[in-house]
Structure 1
Amino acid sequence: MLCIRKRWKRLKSEEEGKWFFLICFSAAIMIAIGIAAKDTEGFWPAMRHAWFIVISIASTTGFGTVDYEQWPGFALVHIALLMILGGCSGSTAGGLKVSRLLVLLRTARFEVVKAFRPNKVFKMQVNGNSLDPEARSQTVIFICLYCFLFVIASFFMGVLEFVNDIDLVTSVGAVFATLPNIGPGFGEVGPTKNFAHFLPATKVFLSLLMILGRLELYAVLVLFIPSLCRKY
C-alpha cells in the first residue's frame, strides 16, 4: 500500500516490513538451493515452489502447491520458524510477529551490553517508535508465554491422541498448524493430509488453540482468571 501511494519516506522507516521481506527472501533462497541440490528440476522451478510456500506460511495464508515434507530437513526447520514468526504487526497473520522478534533481539543485546557497561544510556526503537522498559518487558513476557503454551499444547496433543499412538512430529506439527493459524503442519497433518483422523476432543482442543492464537493470547487467557472477571 505504501508503494502504491508512493510514500517512500514512510516505507524507508518501516523497519518491520523490511525485516519481514528480508527473512522471507533469505528463507526462499536457502530452501530453493536445497531443493535444487536434491532434485533435478533446476533452480528456478525450485525457487518458484520455495517462494510460494514461504509466503504462504509466513503470511499464514495456508495454501500449498507441493509436499514440503519431501524437502531437505533444514528447509523444514525454516518453515517451522516462519510458522512461529508469523507476519507483521497489525496484520491478520498469526504467530509472534516480526516486531516482537526485533524487540526481543534488541532487548537481549541491551542486557548483554548492560552487564558490562551498566552506566551506558540506550535508546531502543522499532519502526521509529521509542520503547520504554515496560514495553520491552511485556514483549518478552508475551514471547515466553507463547513458547510455554506451545510446549504445553504439544504435551496435551500426545495425551489426547494416546489411543491413536500419535508420534512426536504429528503432535508438535498439529500445534504448529493451529496456534499460529497456519493450516498445514507436519507429520499426519502435513500439506497433503488433514485433521480428519483425530478424535473429536482433539479437534475441539485444536480449534481452541486457533482462537487463542488469533486473539493474541491475552484476550482469551483473561477469561481463566476469575479475579479479573469479578472486578471488571
Structure 2
Amino acid sequence: MEERLVLRMMGIVSLAMAAAMLPSLVCALNQEPEMVLPFLGTIFIGFALGAYAIRTTVSQRKMRLSIRGGAVFLGLSWLYTSILGAVPYVASGDFSVPKALFESASALTTTGVSSVLEGAPYPSSLLLWHDISQWLGGIGAIIIFAVIMPQLGSSAANLFSAEVQGNSAERTMPHIREAVRVLILIYLGLTLLMICILLVLQQPPEMAVKLAATSISTSGYLHYRTYLMECNNPVLELFLVLFMILGSCNFILYYRILQKRVDVFWKDTERRWFFGLIIGISLLVAYNLWRSHFYDLFQSIRYAFFQVVSIMSTAGLATQDFSHWPAFSRLLLFYAAIIGGCSASTSGGVKVSRVVVLLKVCWQEIKRTLHPRMVSVITMSGRPVPAQAIIGVGRYFFLYFIVFIALSMLYSLTGSDMLESMATVVVFLSNVGSAFGIMGEGTTFEALSSFGYLILYVTMIMGRIELFAFVMFLHPDFWAKKRGW
C-alpha cells in the first residue's frame, strides 16, 4: 500500500533528523551535562522511530508515490521534523510546548526568529541545534528528496514542484536524481565558499559559520541581532548581500551554468525581474531615506540596498533598526516581504514568478479591452505559460489573501494592533522573520501567549509547505481513496 511507502520515507527523515542532532549532543557532553539527556533521548526517539518505519516497510521499496501520497509526505515531513526538533527545547525545562514548537519551526522553515531575548541565556547546545536546523531548512525537502528520489517514479517531478513553489520548476528538471545531487553540492559549495570569505574578512570562526549558514539559507537568525550593526563593515555587508541573492535565486539556474548553458541564466524572466525589483525598490528606499535626512546619500544607498535584499530574500538580517525608518520605506519593505525570492530557492514569499505572471495577465487584459480581437500569449523565459498554470497563479493569490486575512484576525486576539498583526503574519507566512519590525517598533516574541505561538507555528508551516497543500489536508475528499489522486 502507498501508506507504507510514505511511512518508509518518514523513517528516512527521522533518521536524518536524529543524525543532525549529534553535534549538539557532543556540545552538551563538553559544556552542558544537563542537556545530554534531552538530546540523547531525542536522538534515540528519532533513530528508533526511523529504524522501525524502515524495517516494517522494507517490502515496499519498489512502489511509486501518487500526487496524493507525495503531498501527504511533504506535509507530514515538515510537521514531524518541527515536532521532533522541539523535543530538546521542551526537555531542557526552559521552553513550554508551544514555545518549543515555535522555536523549532522558526529554524526549520528558515523564518529565523527566536522567542529568546537578545543576549539572554541560551544553552549552547540548543543554539547549535537552532543553527544546524535552519541551515538544513535552507534546502528543506531537497535534502529529503536526495535520499528518497531513487524510490520515486514520475511523481517525483510533482513532489519537487510542490516544494519549490514556482511555476517554472517542471521545465527545469529533466534528470531529477542527478539534478538534486548537484543542487545539494552547489548548496554545500556556496556555504563553504562563504565561510572562507568571512574568515579572510577576519570574522571569528564561529561567527563566520553562522553568517554563512544564515545568508545562503536565507534564514537570517543571529542570537545577537545587533551584531552587524556593531561591525559596521561595508565589505562584510557586500558579501552578505551577494550570498543572500545567491540563496534566493533559482538554484536550477546554477545547475544549468554547470551544464555550460549560461544563456538559460541570462534569459530567465524570473531572475531578471528579481534583480530589477531589488534595484528599483532599493533606489526608492534610498531616496526616501536621503530626502528624510536619515543618512547621507552613500549611507542611504548602502543601508537601503542591504535591507531590501535581506527582506526580499527572506533572510531578515539587519544593519540598521529600520523600524524607525519613514513609513514609505517600511511599506516598501513590507511589499518586498510579500513577494519574496525566486522559485527553486531557499527563500519564502509568494515567489517572483507568480507576481510576474499575474502582472502579465493584468497587462494582457488591459490590451484586450483596447483591442478585443488581439491574440496574445503570456510567456516566461521565451516559453508560453500553460493556461492551467495561469489559473493556478490566480487561485494562489486569492487563497493567500484569504489566509492572510484569517491569520491576521486570529493573531490580533493576542492583543496586537492591526498593523502589527498584519506585518507579523506577512513575515511569518513568507518565512522572513526580520530582526526588527517592518511596520513599527522592534518587536520581541519572548512574552507571547501560547495561543500566539501556536498561530505563528501554523503560519510558518503553511508558508513552507504551500498554501494549497495545507488547505488540501483539511478537505475530507483528500483523505478518501479515489482514483483521481
Three-state SS of the structure 1 residue aligned to 2:456 is helix
Quick one: structure 1 residues 40 and 100, their matched pair in 2 at CA, closer, same or farther if it must change by over 3 Å? closer
Q: Do structure 1's residue 218 and structure 2's residue 468 form an aligned pair?
A: yes
Q: CA deviation at 1:116?
A: 4.3
CA distance in structure 2 between the aligned counterparts of 1:230 and 1:120, rounded to whole angstroms: 44
CA distance in structure 2 between the aligned counterparts of 1:168 and 1:86, rounded to whole angstroms: 22
Three-state SS of the structure 1 residue aligned to 2:302 is helix
Q: Do structure 1's residue 52 and structure 2's residue 306 form an aligned pair?
A: yes
Asked whether the equivalents of residues 2 and 11 of structure 1 are also in contact (C-alpha less than 8 Å), the reply is no
Q: Do structure 1's residue 135 and structure 2's residue 389 form an aligned pair?
A: yes
Q: Do structure 1's residue 199 and structure 2's residue 453 form an aligned pair?
A: no
Give the alignment of 1:11-26 within 5 angstroms: 11-26=265-280
Q: CA deviation at 1:187?
A: 5.3
CA distance in structure 1 between the aligned counterparts of 2:329 and 2:262, rounded to whole angstroms: 34
Q: Which residue of 2 aligns with 1:9?
A: 263
Amino acid corresponding to residue 221 of structure 1 in structure 2: V
Q: Which residue of 1 aligns with 2:318?
A: 64
Asked whether the equivalents of residues 270 and 342 of structure 2 are also in contact (C-alpha less than 8 Å), the reply is yes
Give the alignment of 1:113-132 within 5 angstroms: 113-132=367-386
Three-state SS of the structure 1 residue aligned to 2:455 is helix
Q: Which moved more, 1:36-45 or 1:92-101?
A: 36-45
After superposition, the CA RMSD in angstroms is 2.1
Q: CA deviation at 1:183?
A: 0.3
Amino acid corresponding to residue 226 of structure 1 in structure 2: P
Asked whether the equivalents of residues 323 and 330 of structure 2 are also in contact (C-alpha less than 8 Å), the reply is yes
Q: CA deviation at 1:152?
A: 1.3
Q: CA deviation at 1:30?
A: 1.5
From 166, 178, 185, the counterpart of 2:428: 178
Number of residue-to-residue matches in the alignment? 226
More helix by share: 2
CA distance in structure 1 between the aligned counterparts of 2:334 and 2:439, rounded to whole angstroms: 12
Query: For residues 154-192 of structure 1, what are the alpha-carbon distances to aligned partners after superposition, in whole Å with 9 as ceiling and x for unaligned?
Result: 111112x1xxx421121112102201111024457x5x4
Give the alignment of 1:22-41 within 5 angstroms: 22-39=276-293, 41=295
Quick one: structure 1 residues 49 and 2, their matched pair in 2 at CA, closer, same or farther if it must change by over 3 Å? farther
Asked whether the equivalents of residues 94 and 182 of structure 1 are also in contact (C-alpha less than 8 Å), the reply is yes
Asked whether the equivalents of residues 337 and 432 of structure 2 are also in contact (C-alpha less than 8 Å), the reply is yes
Query: For residues 114-166 of structure 1, what are the alpha-carbon distances to aligned partners after superposition, in whole Å with 9 as ceiling and x for unaligned?
Result: 3343432212101222112221111111011111111111111112x1xxx42
CA distance in structure 2 between the aligned counterparts of 1:40 and 1:92, rounded to whole angstroms: 32
Q: Which residue of 2 aligns with 1:148?
A: 402
Query: For residues 52-109 of structure 1, what are the alpha-carbon distances to aligned partners after superposition, in whole Å with 9 as ceiling and x for unaligned?
Result: 1111101111211211121111101110110000001111211111111111011112
Q: Which residue of 2 aligns with 1:111?
A: 365
Larger Rg: 2
From 348, 359, 362, the counterpart of 1:94: 348
Asked whether the equivalents of residues 331 and 438 of structure 2 are also in contact (C-alpha less than 8 Å), the reply is no
Amino acid corresponding to residue 217 of structure 1 in structure 2: L
Asked whether the equivalents of residues 125 and 131 of structure 1 are also in contact (C-alpha less than 8 Å), the reply is yes
Amino acid corresponding to residue 471 of structure 2 in structure 1: L
TM-score relative to the length of structure 1: 0.89
Asked whether the equivalents of residues 368 and 374 of structure 2 are also in contact (C-alpha less than 8 Å), the reply is yes
From 84, 108, 112, the counterpart of 2:338: 84
Q: Do structure 1's residue 169 and structure 2's residue 423 form an aligned pair?
A: no
TM-score relative to the length of structure 2: 0.44
Q: CA deviation at 1:3?
A: 10
Amino acid corresponding to residue 20 of structure 1 in structure 2: F
Q: Which moved more, 1:82-91 or 1:215-224?
A: 215-224
Three-state SS of the structure 2 residue aligned to 1:231 is coil
Asked whether the equivalents of residues 28 and 51 of structure 1 are also in contact (C-alpha less than 8 Å), the reply is yes
Q: Which residue of 1 aligns with 2:67?
A: none
| Structure 1 gap ranges (5+) | none
From 223, 228, 232, the counterpart of 2:478: 228
CA distance in structure 1 between the aligned counterparts of 2:338 and 2:426, rounded to whole angstroms: 7
